[in-house]
Amino acid sequence: MRTLTLHICLAAMTLPGVALAGDKTVTWTGWFADMKCASAHAAAGTFGPTNPECSKTCIQQGTAPVFISEQAKAIFQVKGGGSVIENLGYHIEVTGTVDTAANTIVIRNLKTLAYEGAACSRPKKAAQK
């Protein structure tokens, strides 16, 4: 019986689409970026948009694409990120499967909310008197 259970578990782990113990489906808002820029921002406690032009260059040069989650206050490496570069600079809503152990997300659905660009390039709001 123990061997049968082991074979069933191993078979389930190799089937595509089977959620493992660390996986959960989420719907979050946030931004796409590259690992280098997002990690520096996260270390400073900032979970917002990065410079989209810089992120595009870094991703094209091989830096891993990530999703910055507002709700989780964390960054997750994007697996299969086909639309990451096209959506850099946009505030987005994603539905996907998160592997918390590996700190990755597989995007299943994406909706653009608004273009924000880089926080450093937006004009500062005038202080109210």
Residue 123 clears pLDDT 80, i.e. is over it: no
What are the distances in angstroms from CA 14 to CA 79, 81, 94? 17, 21, 25
| pLDDT tens column, 12-50 | 333 344 445 568 999 999 999 999 999 999 999 999 999
pLDDT of residue 115: 86
pLDDT of residue 128: 52
Domain residue ranges of the chain, discontinuous segments joined by +: 22-120
Domain 22-120 has CATH 2.40.50: yes
Identity at 59, one-letter amino acid code: I
Lookup: tokens for 34 = 């590259």
Contact criterion met (CB below 8 Å) for 23 and 87? no
| pLDDT tens column, 61-85 | 999 999 999 999 999 999 976 789 9
pTM score: 0.74
Instruction: Name every residue whose Cβ is closer than 8 Å to that of residue 79 and which is 6 or more positions away in sequence.
Output: 104, 105, 106
